[in-house]
């Protein structure tokens, strides 16, 4: 017969080692004293130093479980319940699936718990629930702290740092490194029309996917994305917001046209004014095409909006001609565009100064509050933080306004000579112009309704 022993289990996390009463020596002293007082002479120590209690992946805990299963232990002692585990699920697993089936009692010194009694087993369920609650509270506080960091413009810290940046732990921000020039080159090449695969080859990136990741990261333009929200970062942008938006628009325009419809001018823009379904080009005769509502195409039921749609089928050439002529007759309000761009830039400068001043004021108030708590100070700080949030929203709006103004300037330059240069453009160039100017085209029988982008800046000549 193997002699049974009591197991003294001790766990400390890295932070807990510094806390009074949680050190290895302190726990060992109190648990050993308990054994002596109860006349327990045969006991062994199982000590996990520097391990979290959020899971059971701990070497000494695994050794303890193995000894229990080998019938070498008849009792487990801990200083406090959360030393065994901070997870309710793991605690109940150890008690119900490991200790109890092997006749092992569990004693927690701090909670005066002994599972050999009914009351002790009841207390175990209650206290393990509280241990789980505390762990979830810690996680929630960590998330809240992370969100506050990001709202203040600081990087989340940890994780993977975006290509082109290093992380400055002292300042809490991203800092451009020697790869920043590569990032700029990726955007330049993409806007020139090169594919991600070709760009990766040209700039020396290992994977095509990395080029795509670089293009879609808004952190390159000075923003931080966190849990679906965007915040203005304090780090130096590698590219302008205007360049980022151009790349995203170009990416969208590339994805609109399907390869099979590469020769069709209005693919992806036309929809039915009666049922809302998309229209498609359909061969009609040897050389011509008509625009047909997908609701009238029984071969693609997933695209049908109204099986009874009776929208008339129009000749594609007639609709294209009407759209092109309407485009020629439109121009942008040139007088307002450059002014809008400059105005947005000056407003952003003012807002940034306001943001910095309020941030400094909040820091001073926190210092005063630390010297003596005051509810009025907290209310003042909360009000200032709300002002910061509103300023961030205004800055983002002005940046977007500046980007839109830049887009309008570019489109306007093209429209000035559009009528004269149209016939010399390639089919792809013509499609790009149309997609830069028009958001959608709605056809109801013989009526064609065109919806332009930047509508507030557009007028008839």
Residue indicated by tokens 């009074």: 20
For residue 319, give both structure tokens.
């609709």
Catalytic residue flag (residue 128): no
Closest CA to 22 of 77, 64, 83, 108: 83
Which of these is catalytic: 13, 85, 219, 271?
A: 13
Q: Are 34 and 10 in contact (CB under 8 A)?
A: no
- As a whole number of angstroms, the distance between CA 45 and CA 39 comes to 17
Q: Is 304 left (phi over 0), alpha (psi -120 to 50) or beta?
A: beta
For residue 382, give both structure tokens.
């909360």
- As a whole number of angstroms, the distance between CA 8 and CA 6 comes to 7
Q: Is 157 left (phi over 0), alpha (psi -120 to 50) or beta?
A: left
Q: Are 359 and 389 in contact (CB under 8 A)?
A: no
Q: Are 276 and 305 in contact (CB under 8 A)?
A: yes
- As a whole number of angstroms, the distance between CA 115 and CA 81 comes to 12
- As a whole number of angstroms, the distance between CA 266 and CA 295 comes to 18
The residues annotated with a catalytic role in the active site are: 13
């Amino acid at each position: 017969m193997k002699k049974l022993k009591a197991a003294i289990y001790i766990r400390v996390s890295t932070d807990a080692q510094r806390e009074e009463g949680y050190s290895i020596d302190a726990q060992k002293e109190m648990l050993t004293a308990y054994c002596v007082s109860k006349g327990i002479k045969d006991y062994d120590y199982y000590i996990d130093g520097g391990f979290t209690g959020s899971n059971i992946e701990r070497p000494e805990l695994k050794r303890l479980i193995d000894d229990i299963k080998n019938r070498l232990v008849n009792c487990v002692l801990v200083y406090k319940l959360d030393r065994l585990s901070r997870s309710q699920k793991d605690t109940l697993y150890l008690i119900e699936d490991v200790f109890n089936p092997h006749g092992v009692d569990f004693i927690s010194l701090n909670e005066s718990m002994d599972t050999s009694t009914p009351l002790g087993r009841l207390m175990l369920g209650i206290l393990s629930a509280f241990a789980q609650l505390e762990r979830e509270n810690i996680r929630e506080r960590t998330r809240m702290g992370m969100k506050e960091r990001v709202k203040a413009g600081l990087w989340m810290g940890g994780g993977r740092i975006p290509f082109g940046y290093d992380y400055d732990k002292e300042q809490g921000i991203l800092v451009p490194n020697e790869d920043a020039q590569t990032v700029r080159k990726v955007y330049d090449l993409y806007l020139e029309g090169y594919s991600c695969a070709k760009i990766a080859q040209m700039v020396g990136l290992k994977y095509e996917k990395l080029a795509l990741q670089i293009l879609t990261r808004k952190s390159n333009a000075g923003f931080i994305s966190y849990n679906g929200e965007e915040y203005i970062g304090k780090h130096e942008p590698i590219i302008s917001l205007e360049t980022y938006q151009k790349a995203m628009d170009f990416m969208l325009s590339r994805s609109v046209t399907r390869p099979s419809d590469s020769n069709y001018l209005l693919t992806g823009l036309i929809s039915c004014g009666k049922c809302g379904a998309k229209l498609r080009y359909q061969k009609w005769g040897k050389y011509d095409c008509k625009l047909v509502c997908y609701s009238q195409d029984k071969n693609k039921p997933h695209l049908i909006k109204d099986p009874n749609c009776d929208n008339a089928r129009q000749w594609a050439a007639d609709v294209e001609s009407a759209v092109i002529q309407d485009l020629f007759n439109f121009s942008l309000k040139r007088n307002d565009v450059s002014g809008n761009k400059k105005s947005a830039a000056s407003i952003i400068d003012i807002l940034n100064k306001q943001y910095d001043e309020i941030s400094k004021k909040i820091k001073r108030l926190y210092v005063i509050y630390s010297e003596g708590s005051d509810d009025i100070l907290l209310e003042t700080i909360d009000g200032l933080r709300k002002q910061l949030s509103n300023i961030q929203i205004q800055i983002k709006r002005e940046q977007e306004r500046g980007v839109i103004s830049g887009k309008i300037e570019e489109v306007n330059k093209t429209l000035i000579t559009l009528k004269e240069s149209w016939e010399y453009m390639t089919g792809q160039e013509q499609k790009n112009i149309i997609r830069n100017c028009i958001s959608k085209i709605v056809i109801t029988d013989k009526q064609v309704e065109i919806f332009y982008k930047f509508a507030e800046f557009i007028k008839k000549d």
